[in-house]
Structure 1
Amino acid sequence: MRNLLSPRWLGGAVLALALAGCDASRESVTLHERDAVPDNLSQWHVVEALDGTLSLNDRVTPYDLNTALFTDYAHKLRTVWMPEGTSAAYGEEDFEYPVGTIISKTFYYPLAEDGSVRRTDDYSQDFAGNGLNLSKVKLIETRMLVKRVDGWQALPYVWNEAQTDAVLEIAGDAKRLQMVSDDGSSTGFTYVVPDFNQCSGCHADNHTKKAVRPIGPRARHLNKSYAYESGGENQLIYWQQMGYLSGLPDLTEVPHNVNFKDATASLEERARSYLDINCGHCHNPSGAADTSGLMLYSAEQDMRKLGVCKPPVAAGTGSGDRRFAIVPGSPDESILNFRVESTDPGAMMPELGRSLTHEEGTELLKDWIASLPGNCS
């Protein structure tokens, strides 16, 4: 067990939270003290490798997002757990999560027959119940957000090759992977696990307060159906029914991002949802990119602030020698397209979380910008 506030290793100091209905052979979810977090993910008993499955403990609830942050085509298993008798209070922008909440996100890839990882949108072979079938997937990392009295704590755990446990890696990690696509083409790339400070940096979407907060589990991202083992249900309704959410208004009053791949949604809705989750945590009025003047979060309606005919604050490699963030009708002249397509660390956006270009996302943004009327003359 590691003490994050000193170089000494500590042994105990944990608060075990008993869960009703838990299998007697499995320990209940354990909430460790901030300054004595365990070195192994299994010691939390939230998600564990058991009998060939990455298994979810009692009341550890999976969830998904309408549109997710791109991370080198990795698949993700997201979960939330709250102490018995507590619930999150609904808020349109942020939920007020109770102290003791544990949010986890496990990054993994489906396995190809030759042991490389697959680039695919197909999740059908990944799951064994609510957990993951370990014979079908390669686990990379599990990131934890733990709600403390004084705020959220971010913890990165990296899985071992045997997929028996994950180890706390405050300094992050890098894994060289070979990815095969459905057309048979293969790409080598380096998957980068962020370090402790990078986790905190991305999740502090208010640059002034610098407080770590969850990005994904917010109303507009969660407002969708999820295929639970008991059947399909809107996630917010499901959280309310199980006691994880209070104050939920009628769903007609809840904001709703769309799936960026949903062809029944408008091109505008799809592009804005994509920019919101991938860029909005920095490009908002209080975010780390506030000085750029480029606002890509969902609530922004001023087209100039969205980048239309907006010159960059600073030129150079990051602009690709292009004059405006967005040139209506001309994605090839737009800085936005240059940066999301680039894999140059000095130019690419987002700056963290990817080594590859998201081809589907960049094509969407091209189509959207090509459809915009007007010019920058």
Structure 2
Amino acid sequence: MKKNYFLNYLLFLSLFTTFFSCGTDDGNNYEEIPEETSPVVLDINAVPYPKLSDYKLYEGELKNIEPAYKVIPYDLNTPLFTDYAHKKRFIWMPKDTKATYTTDAQIPDFPIGTILVKNFYYEDVLPNDVTRIIETRIMIKKPEGWIFANYVWNDEQTEATLNVNGGTVPLEWSQNGETMAINYKVPSQEQCTTCHSLNGTYTPIGVKPQNLNKLYDYKDGTLNQLSKWIQEGYLDNKPTNINSTVDWTDTSQSLELRARSYLDINCAHCHTPGGDCDEAPMNFAFSQTNIPENLGVCVEPEDFVTGNQQYIVDAQDPRGSLLYFRVETTIQTEMMPNLGRTVTHTEGLELLEEWITNMEVSCP
């Protein structure tokens, strides 16, 4: 009996000693679990890198566009139209940095080293009905300001290389049972500055709280995007009420809100004070288009007019509206936007037609 007691005592003493020997050199009796770190590589003095893979933004095969740790996906209430291309957007920030909220209609004050990523791709690309990524556009905030880096994917979809000169990619794909064909235009770095300049300073366009205030289905659950950024340590705060754009395809929203949201994301980066086309008598920024005159309703255009359009928006008369004509045409010198598309966005044009037709006012 005493022998068994003694053996049990020795066993207990051995386990006790083993348990408490797993301490650290500083005397804390626990084993530290290494903190997970992002694999993203950012040398602020070396970017832009020659290849997309150099950033380590994705895990696994590059073509899967599977974001690495702390590379957060995001979406916009209404996205910019780019010849029917699909887009996957991501954001990454250096450790222990975060953006500061400014206003609903302005991009947050992002920290140095922030990377914004937008991948452009098509599904059901002919002849084999495959997914094909065309380009990945990156904006990086350096101490001197934002820079652009466009990466064009190879045919094998194994890598994308830096391209500053732009180019054309012939493309055919199946959409709603129809064969679509375009010469997709990759913008040059100079063309990027046209849309991404505000008061002479390069800036992102879509990442404004008004466009991000929506739910997103993350791998770990559905959450408001701005709340997710706060949770990830990427944003300092989120106001209770945000004057938000809406999904232009959401027919439960009013025609006016849908049209204003569409015009904001597609046109306001140029047609706003400090933008490339700020000399025109319009301000398409969502926060300003509650004023009909800023939308051009019953406002005479100051630039040239092709046809008989007397007003930018001739209430109840879409085809008498210069706005409608500019969105419909594909004549390079007259189309709007004049960059980022080569075909007419038929569904967007139908929205604007319906919106103008159903206006309660009429022009003289």
TM range (shorter): 0.7 to 0.9
Structure 2: stretches of 5+ with no match in the other structure: 1-33
Which 10-residue stretch deviates more, 192-201 or 80-89?
A: 192-201
Give 1:43-122 correspondences, 5 Å limit.
43-47=54-58, 50=61, 53-92=64-103, 93-112=106-125, 114-115=127-128
For residues 271 and 310 of structure 2, what CA distance do their matches in structure 1 show?
19
SS at match of 1:276: helix
1:326 aligns with 2:306: no
Deviations 1:185-230 (A, max 9, x none): 22321110111111122111x2x3x111111111000000001011
1:240 aligns with 2:253: no
For these two proteins, the number of residue pairs brought into alignment is: 328
Note the C-alpha offset of 1:255: 2.1
For the 8 Å contact 1:158–1:173, the answer to whether it is kept is no
Give 1:345-356 correspondences, 5 Å limit.
345-356=332-343
Give 1:107-256 correspondences, 5 Å limit.
107-112=120-125, 114-115=127-128, 136-182=130-176, 184-204=177-197, 206=198, 208=199, 210-250=200-240, 253-256=241-244
| Bigger CA radius of gyration | 2
For the 8 Å contact 2:123–2:173, the answer to whether it is kept is no
Could you tell me which of 289, 296, 315 is aligned with 2:284?
296
Q: Match of 1:268?
A: 256
One-letter code aligned to 1:177:
L
Note the C-alpha offset of 1:247: 2.5
Note the C-alpha offset of 1:36: 5.0
SS at match of 2:356: helix
Instruction: Give the TM-score, by structure 2 length.
Output: 0.86
For the 8 Å contact 1:315–1:321, the answer to whether it is kept is no
For the 8 Å contact 1:223–1:255, the answer to whether it is kept is no
Note the C-alpha offset of 1:113: 6.5
Note the C-alpha offset of 1:98: 0.5
For residues 201 and 34 of structure 1, what CA distance do their matches in structure 2 show?
25
Could you tell me which of 350, 359, 362 is aligned with 1:372?
359
One-letter code aligned to 1:311:
E
One-letter code aligned to 1:295:
N
Which 10-residue stretch deviates more, 279-288 or 295-304?
A: 295-304
Q: Match of 2:7?
A: none
SS at match of 1:254: coil
Note the C-alpha offset of 1:48: 5.9
Note the C-alpha offset of 1:174: 0.9
For residues 173 and 229 of structure 1, what CA distance do their matches in structure 2 show?
35
For residues 217 and 47 of structure 1, what CA distance do their matches in structure 2 show?
21
For residues 51 and 73 of structure 1, what CA distance do their matches in structure 2 show?
23
Could you tell me which of 52, 73, 90 is aligned with 1:41?
52
Identity fraction in percent: 39
Over the aligned positions, Cα root-mean-square deviation in angstroms equals 1.8
For the 8 Å contact 2:309–2:321, the answer to whether it is kept is yes
Instruction: Give the TM-score, by structure 1 length.
Output: 0.83
Note the C-alpha offset of 1:20: 4.6
For the 8 Å contact 2:62–2:158, the answer to whether it is kept is no
For the 8 Å contact 1:91–1:219, the answer to whether it is kept is no
Q: Match of 1:16?
A: none
Note the C-alpha offset of 1:160: 0.5
SS at match of 1:322: coil
SS at match of 2:350: helix
Flag the structure with higher strand content. Answer: 1
Structure 1: stretches of 5+ with no match in the other structure: 1-18, 117-135
For residues 166 and 45 of structure 2, what CA distance do their matches in structure 1 show?
19
